Every structure is written in structure tokens, then in C-alpha cells.
Amino acid sequence: MEWALILLTFFSALLLLMLTGINVFVAFLTVNLTATALLIGERGFGLFVNSVTDSVSNGGYATIPLFILMGEILFRSGSVDVLFDSVDRLVGRVRGRLYAVVIVIATIFGALSGTAVAVSAMLGRSAMPTMEARGYSPRLSATVILAGASLAPIIPPSLLAIIIGSLADVSIAGLLIAGIIPGIIISIMTGAYVTTSVMRNPELAPPQSDDDEKDRGSALGAVLRMMPFMFIIFMVMGMIMLGIATPGESAATGVVGSVLVAILYKRASAQMLISALASATRLSVMIMVIVASSTLFSQLVAFTGASRALVAWATDLGLSPMVMFFILMALPLVLCMFIDQIAFLLMAVPLYEPLVSALGYDPIWFWTIFLINLTVGGVTPPFGYTLFALSAAAPNISVGQVFRASYPVLVIFLLAMLLLTFVPGIVTWLPSVI
């Protein structure tokens, strides 16, 4: 099985390089170029040039830097503080109000950012100190923040969904829309867990009298302050769902909207815009290099015959499609505990794509659950990036406490994945209707 040896060598070299601490995009680039030189020779570098050209000229990838820039502007301008205050006022006098506020805020900001790490850091800096000061349980607060932040890659716009759609040749708009209902279901499950926990142990949340310190203000005023954010969400997802704009066009509209929101709330400045643009540029360049390397990797896999041999081997096993599905999902669940989500995604998609077709899976259904599976890796000890983002943003809570807070999140997401697996209509219904 020469093809298996080639794949094993490639993955081993990549993991060893990442263990040295170098950036994922550098590791990908190094392994790809080395494999090209050894397997094809000098002529193979033309493949890499073509990979870069294809990636840069692919219109689907234009959404990546635009969505990143939109999230950076909203985050750096401090506009999210207005959203937090508005939702806080609308939730009302209930015990454990801030738990509900964080879930709602994370869901909304997930629809404005698309990255779990950004949402986790934002909530760790803004919500966690307030919750601690009011007597909320640090562990349950961390659980709510981690669960809410993990919705960001699922609820559109999702950077991971865009990358998967481009690499797997699946409708990007379809994948973005498919994440809406699963994201809402996970949000409801998180709310149910928090409610049950507070009912069983009231000490996890302060009494209502202590929990309602600020003047409630006008509910209408809170709604009006939230309207600019709701308008951005409509411009990003509503225009895609109505068929008015492509994902790239809606992403550009979202950037313009985020700038207008920052100006409206008097949070805009030239320094803020420059910092947001610089940060978005750095992250976008790294992602595009990784994507180009993944394109080259898929070409190398096809050149060696490994993809064709892998499909033949999986077919010859004689396992049912559902058993194969659980095997394919077990790999990211385990490996994403130790390696970067994007790194695994870019290694797995070229190998999984022919299997998805050969086994007859609905591509929207399969890749949506695959995306949720990757998200679980971000909150799984010991190397989940979302865990470390929260720990760094909220220094009063230890890494050990964050790790323990992640376990309920894992259970919620795994239960949601089982539900989506056995009731596929939850994923496929909305994209099919639209």
C-alpha cells in the first residue's frame, strides 16, 4: 500500500513541524514544497504556482478577508459593548440573567464574526469580569462563554464553511445557510443546560435583587440601539438567502455596515481602522497560503493515485455508509484535540471529498456536521484554541477551571451532532427551501 505510506509520511512530517511551534502555514508550505520536489521534481513547482493562482483568483475566497475585516472593526471599535448593554436590558429580571445575555450575545456576535477565538476573547474581556463581580459561578460562566463562542464557526458567516465549500466544491451559500438551524438548536440546548443547573443549585447565580443593579431603561430604546447590528446581519445573510447577493458581495456590504455602525456609535477612528485592516490582512494572508498549500496537496494526492486507492480501499471494506460516517467523524474528533482545526481541515478535505461522493452522502449534510466536529476540537483539552483564548482574556480563571468548564460543552455538541446525524432534514431543509 504505497499510497498509505505516502499519506502517513506527509501527515507525520506536518505534525512534527507543528510540534516545533512554527506557524501552521509555514509547516504546510514546507511539507508541500518538499513533497513536490521529491515526487515530481522541478516541473512540479509549476503545480504550486497554479495552486496559488487558482486560490487568489477564486471568487469564493474573497469572502474570507472581508468577513475577517468586518469582525475586526466591530471588535476593535468597542461597538459590541452597546450590543451587550441592550441585550442585558431586554432579558429582564430573571435569576442568572447574564447567562442568558451571554448566550444571546455570543449567537449574535457569532453571526458578525465567524471565528470562535475572537468571540471567546471578546466575551472573556467584557462579560467575564462583570459576571464575577456580580457573584456568578466562574465555572458555569466559562461554560456559557465557550458554548456561545463555539457557535461562531457554525452560524453564518463562517470562515471554515467558506474554506470547506471552496475546497470540496460545495455551494458556499448552501453551507452558510445550513448552519443556521443547528446553531440555534445548540444555543437552545446550552440555555436548557444553564437553566437546569441553576434550578438544581441556585448558588450558581446571584438572587434577582443583586442581579438587577442597573436602571433597566426603555426596552424600546434597547431595541433601537440593536437595530444597526440586526441590519448588518440582514445585509450579510438576508441578501444571500433572498438571492440578491453572492457571499462575497454580502461580505463587502457587511464591512461597510460595520464601519457605519462604528461611526454611528462614535467609536470610529483612523487608528482603529488601520489596526483592524492590518490584523485582517495578516490573518487573511496566512489563510490563503494554507489554502494554496492544500490545493497543491490535493493535486499531489491525485498524482500519486492515493485518492483513488483510498476510495477503493474504503469500498472494499464492505462497511455500511453509516459506519463509515462515524469512522470519518471520529478522526477529526480525536486529532483536533492536538492540531489546529484549519490544518486538519485542509488535510482532510482533499481525502474526504472523493469518499463523500463514493458513499453517497448529501454533501451539505456531511460537511455541516464535519464543521461542527471541527468546532468541538476548539473546546477540547489539551490544545483547544478557544480554551486558551478565554484563559488569556480572563486571567482570574485558571486554565484548569477552563478545561473543566469545557466538558458540558463537549456533551452538548456531541448530542447535537447525533441529532443531526439521525435527523438529516434539520441540516438540509433550509438550504433546499431557499
CA dihedral 303, 340, 273, 147 (to 10 degrees): 130
Q: What is the pLDDT of residue 211?
A: 46
Asked if the model's pLDDT at residue 287 lies above 70, the reply is: no
Mean pLDDT of 331-343: 71
Q: What is the pLDDT of residue 44?
A: 66
Q: What is the pLDDT of residue 383?
A: 63
Query: What grid cell was written down for 350?
Result: 482533499
Predicted confidence band of residue 18 (pLDDT cuts 50, 70, 90): low
Q: What is the pLDDT of residue 297?
A: 67
Prediction pTM value: 0.73
Worst-scoring range by mean pLDDT, 67-76, 95-104, 167-176, 214-223?
214-223
Asked if the model's pLDDT at residue 123 lies above 70, the reply is: yes
**Candidate ranges 20-29, 46-55, 82-91, 353-362; pick with highest mean pLDDT:** 353-362
The residue assigned the cell 475566497 is 61
Higher pLDDT, 424 or 27: 424
Higher pLDDT, 260 or 287: 260
The percentage of residues in the chain with a pLDDT greater than 70, rounded to a whole number, is: 74
Predicted confidence band of residue 252 (pLDDT cuts 50, 70, 90): confident
Mean pLDDT of 194-204: 88
| Closest alpha carbon to 31 in 55, 7, 53 | 7
Predicted confidence band of residue 226 (pLDDT cuts 50, 70, 90): confident
**Tens digit of pLDDT for each residue in 291-311?**
666 666 666 666 666 656 666
Q: What is the pLDDT of residue 235?
A: 76
Cα–Cα dist 362/377, whole Å: 23
* Cβ proximity of 175 and 114 under 8 Å: no
